[in-house]
């Protein structure tokens, strides 16, 4: 069932945008980390630095209209889907202009305008929802597919099994993207997951399961593109497992814990998805140095503008806490 | 007017709404073959695409309903027996109830979650639950608990049309009761209570299957010269506070009847509302008739006396009438 990733040439035209989106995520999270350190972002901040390749590769295999659901470590996923940075940063800072109006914060970003249907901070709970979005797409015959990101930690949740089984039985257009970064907070996958590759479980759901190098944005794109093609053709769901790594601790400001070695982290940094892609773009002659630098400059400006937008944005009125509980509350919720 | 029982009324409500709106569909456990009696003929009329039998995966299919709703469908989910909502609790509480809020108003989750409360039938502790109070504690959910066929039909149709998530707790102790149902279409607004029997001496507030028991108790008490009013909230969240207070303002006495366990029940909430906002109307302490805080035993000899009965309601009314503040 586990197949070597089928090589499909990605149109070189996508490479600049791949580079741009990976950089956006990297720099957005770096800026957020700085703001968090200054106390300008409240609450927890789970960064995915090191995982940008699989995020962008998977998201770019979809159209803007397709659905995507992330998890608690998903600042990058809406960015991968094309979301504007300003409202995302404003959300992290709890501002009224935040994409969720300050109601969701770091773990629950949603930008429905680009098909980002939200993120759930309860592990695995997004998979049934993504499966349902695929069911809706099938019933509405709108041709869309649904992509759900989950980690190796989440793969142990019961909801994951239920969603995959339903998606298979109903042949739904959904792609389950396992971001295997090796650790459920501090628990290594070998202590929490019964298989080396989560994708092998696809056999149990009668669907294809593919393992891909998540540090390779193009390889991830290719694998997800195959799954998307299958989903759109009405052939049902797939699992794509991207082997990846998060450089930072589970959450920003947590002290490093000895569950992994510095050597291990360093070895993964040697396979950084952005650095590798930059070099490959030059080596294969797809992008010139000047083009790469131009993208880098543009992204630096975009991220700075997002930070400026967020900082200048007003805070919500405390009374806005009462909005969005219902479309029609039928009663005064303030009593 | 034709007669229909509660489950037939539920079925007719769903069928009418499915005919009216192509985005409405039914999914649940054993719905195609009408295992629980409220989906007869729906498969034949609407086909397999709109009547989905689900795997035994409550979290999975309830979550799937949420996702389908977010992209434009209006699922009715039959979770069947009420305690089967527990495996789906995360999807109900963390996803369905919260998505609109968490995502700052971007999400619409018009899901109707149906489940039936199968108590007083020797089903023992894991199958006899009446768990609506737990979900009343979750913001973002509307909760209905119809007590008769007329209300069941009108409330279910309103629930399907509501843009917010609605949980419907159906009481199997009244499933078989028939009454006249108008031929013409009608809706019952969510959030509005009904006076099921008018009276001036005392208010009996009763929930779901306790409503006919309260009416029977009131009829019996009429022979003793006590004129009891019976209020059926029909919707448990939001409660029709104005209707409760108006009745208590008239009668000055309140007995609250709730088949749920006593602690943090509807009875607790209604008692608190009246103590807070209607204390000055009261001529006697509020009395609660509920199920004690113990599990439901299998043997009917032990089970029967635990729930509110006509006798227990009548006794509480008599006690209240003896008190004079």
Q: Which of B18, B27, B60 to mutate to test the interface with A (most CBs of A within 10 A)?
A: B60
**Does residue B222 share a domain with residue B270?**
yes
Catalytic one among B127, B277, B280, B295? B127
Q: How far apart are the CA of B299 and the nearest CA of chain A, in angstroms?
A: 34
- Tell me, yes or no, whether B264 lies in a domain: yes
C-beta atoms of B103 and A100 within 8 A: yes
Per residue in B110-160, pLDDT tens? 999 999 999 999 999 999 999 999 999 999 999 999 999 999 999 999 999
Task: For residue A88, give its domain range.
Answer: 2-322
Per residue in B22-57, pLDDT tens? 999 999 999 999 998 999 999 999 999 999 999 999
Last residue of a domain, one of B180, B214, B233: B180
C-beta atoms of A331 and B103 within 8 A: no
Closest of A222, A221, A178 to residue A201, by C-alpha: A178
Name the burial class of residue A294, with classes exposed (0-12), middle (13-18) and buried (19+) by CB atoms within 10 angstroms of its CB.
middle
**B151-160 CB burial, b ≥16 within 10 A, e <16:** bbbbbbbbbb
Name the burial class of residue B47, with classes exposed (0-12), middle (13-18) and buried (19+) by CB atoms within 10 angstroms of its CB.
exposed
Place of tokens 């009216």: B20
Q: How far apart are CA A278 and CA A15, in angstroms?
A: 10
Last residue of a domain, one of B128, B152, B180: B180
Would you call the peptide bond into B238 cis, given omega within 30 degrees of 0 as the criterion? yes
**Does residue B154 share a domain with residue B18?**
yes
**Does residue B200 share a domain with residue B175?**
no
- Tell me, yes or no, whether B167 lies in a domain: yes
* Cα separations in angstroms, B90 against A60, A173, B25, B98, B118: 30, 24, 22, 11, 22
Residue A210 maps to which CATH number?
Answer: 3.40.50.970
**Does residue B264 share a domain with residue B143?**
no
- Tell me, yes or no, whether B283 lies in a domain: yes
What single string gives the DSSP state of each residue in A271-335? T-HHHHHHHHHHHTTSS-HHHHHHHHHHHHHHHHHHHHHHHHSPPPPGGGGGTTS-SS-SS-TT-
SS3 category, B180: strand
Number of independent structural domains in chain A: 1
Chain B, 6-35: which have a CB under 8 Å from a chain A CB?
23, 25
Supply B196's token pair. 């099921």
Residue B9 maps to which CATH number?
Answer: 3.40.50.970
Q: What is the rounded average pLDDT for all residues in chain B?
A: 97
Last residue of a domain, one of B148, B180, B212: B180
Task: For residue B81, give its domain range.
Answer: 3-180
ipTM of the complex: 0.96
**Does residue B285 share a domain with residue B198?**
yes
Per residue in B264-315, pLDDT tens? 999 999 999 999 999 999 999 999 999 999 999 999 999 999 999 999 999 9
CB atoms within 10 A of CB B281: 18
Active site residue B280: no
**Does residue B270 share a domain with residue B125?**
no
Residue B23: list chain A partners with CB under 8 A. 139-140
Q: What is the mean pLDDT of residues A194-218?
A: 98
Q: What is the pLDDT of residue A295?
A: 98
Percent residues over pLDDT 90 in chain B: 98
Chain B nearest-CA residue for A146 = B67
pLDDT band at A9 (very low <50, low <70, confident <90, very high): low
Q: What is the pLDDT of residue A1?
A: 46
- Sequence-distant (≥ 6) Cβ neighbours of residue B138 within 8 angstroms: B92, B93, B97
- Tell me, yes or no, whether B229 lies in a domain: yes
pLDDT band at A8 (very low <50, low <70, confident <90, very high): very low
**Does residue B153 share a domain with residue B45?**
yes
**Does residue B22 share a domain with residue B171?**
yes
Nearest to A110 among B94, B103, B190 (CB): B103
Closest of B257, B253, B244, B321 to residue B289, by C-alpha: B257
- Tell me, yes or no, whether B188 lies in a domain: no
Q: What is the mean pLDDT of residues A33-38?
A: 97
Q: What is the pLDDT of residue B238?
A: 98
Place of tokens 């997004």: A126
- Tell me, yes or no, whether B189 lies in a domain: no
Q: What is the mean pLDDT of residues A298-316?
A: 98
Nearest to B60 among A102, A163, A328 (CB): A163
Number of independent structural domains in chain B: 2
- Tell me, yes or no, whether B187 lies in a domain: no
Cβ–Cβ under 8 Å, residues A152 and A182: yes
Residue B107: list chain A partners with CB under 8 A. 110, 112, 117-118
C-beta atoms of B60 and A162 within 8 A: yes
pLDDT band at A10 (very low <50, low <70, confident <90, very high): low
């Amino acid at each position: 069932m586990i197949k070597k990733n089928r090589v499909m040439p990605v149109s070189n035209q996508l490479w600049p945008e791949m580079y741009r989106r990976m950089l956006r995520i990297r720099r957005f999270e770096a800026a957020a980390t700085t703001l968090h350190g200054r106390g300008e972002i409240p609450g927890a901040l789970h960064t995915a630095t090191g995982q940008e390749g699989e995020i962008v590769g998977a998201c770019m295999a979809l159209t803007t209209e397709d659905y995507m659901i992330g998890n608690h470590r998903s600042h990058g996923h809406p960015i991968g889907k094309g979301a504007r940075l300003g409202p995302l940063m404003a959300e992290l800072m709890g501002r009224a202009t935040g994409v969720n109006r300050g109601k969701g914060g770091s773990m629950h970003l949603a930008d429905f305008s680009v098909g980002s249907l939200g993120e759930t901070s309860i592990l695995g709970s997004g998979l049934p929802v993504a499966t349902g979005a695929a069911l809706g797409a099938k019933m509405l015959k709108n041709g869309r597919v649904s992509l759900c990101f989950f980690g190796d930690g989440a793969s142990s949740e019961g909801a994951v099994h239920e969603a995959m089984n339903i998606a298979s039985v109903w042949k739904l257009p959904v792609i389950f993207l396992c971001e295997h970064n090796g650790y459920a907070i501090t628990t290594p996958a070998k202590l929490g997951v019964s298989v080396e590759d989560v994708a092998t479980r696809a056999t149990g759901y009668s669907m294809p399961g593919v393992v891909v190098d998540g540090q390779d944005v193009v390889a991830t794109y290719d694998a997800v593109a195959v799954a998307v093609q299958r989903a759109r053709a009405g052939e049902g769901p797939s699992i794509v497992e991207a082997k990846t790594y998060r450089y930072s601790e589970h959450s920003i400001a947590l002290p490093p814990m000895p569950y992994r070695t510095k050597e291990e982290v360093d070895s993964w940094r040697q396979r950084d998805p952005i650095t590798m892609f930059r070099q490959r773009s030059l080596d294969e002659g797809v992008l010139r140095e000047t083009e790469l630098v131009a993208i880098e400059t543009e992204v630096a400006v975009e991220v700075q503008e997002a930070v400026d937008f967020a900082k200048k944005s007003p805070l919500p009125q405390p009374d806005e806490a009462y909005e969005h509980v219902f479309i029609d509350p039928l009663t005064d919720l303030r009593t | 007017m034709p007669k229909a029982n509660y489950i037939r009324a539920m079925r007719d409500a769903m069928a009418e709404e499915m005919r009216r709106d192509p985005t409405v569909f039914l999914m649940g456990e054993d719905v195609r073959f009408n295992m629980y009696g409220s989906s007869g003929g729906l498969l034949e009329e609407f086909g397999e695409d709109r009547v989905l039998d689900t795997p035994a995966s409550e979290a999975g299919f309830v979550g799937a309903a949420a996702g389908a709703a977010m992209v434009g469908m209006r699922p009715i989910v039959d979770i069947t027996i009420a305690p089967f909502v527990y495996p789906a609790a995360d999807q109900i509480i963390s996803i369905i109830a919260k998505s609109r809020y968490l995502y700052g108003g971007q999400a619409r989750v018009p899901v109707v979650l149906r489940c039936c409360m199968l108590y007083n039938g020797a089903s023992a502790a894991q199958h006899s639950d009446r768990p609506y109070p737990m979900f009343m504690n979750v913001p973002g959910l509307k909760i209905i608990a119809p007590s008769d066929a007329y209300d069941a039909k009108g409330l279910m149709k309103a629930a399907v049309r509501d843009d917010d998530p609605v949980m419907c707790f159906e009481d199997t102790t009244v499933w078989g009761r028939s009454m006249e149902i108008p031929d013409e279409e009608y809706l019952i607004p969510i959030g509005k209570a009904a006076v099921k029997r008018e009276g001036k001496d005392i208010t009996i507030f009763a929930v779901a299957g306790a409503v006919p028991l309260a009416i029977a108790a009131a009829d019996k008490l009429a022979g003793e010269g006590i004129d009891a009013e019976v209020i059926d909230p029909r919707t448990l969240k939001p409660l029709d506070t104005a209707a409760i207070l108006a009745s208590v303002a008239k009668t000055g006495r309140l007995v609250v009847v709730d088949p749920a366990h006593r602690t943090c029940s509807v009875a607790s909430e209604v008692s608190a509302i009246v103590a807070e906002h209607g204390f000055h109307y009261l001529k006697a302490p509020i009395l609660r008739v509920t199920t004690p805080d113990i599990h439901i035993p299998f043997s009917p000899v032990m089970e029967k006396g635990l729930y509110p009965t006509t006798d227990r309601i009548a006794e509480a009314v008599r006690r209240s009438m003896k008190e004079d503040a």
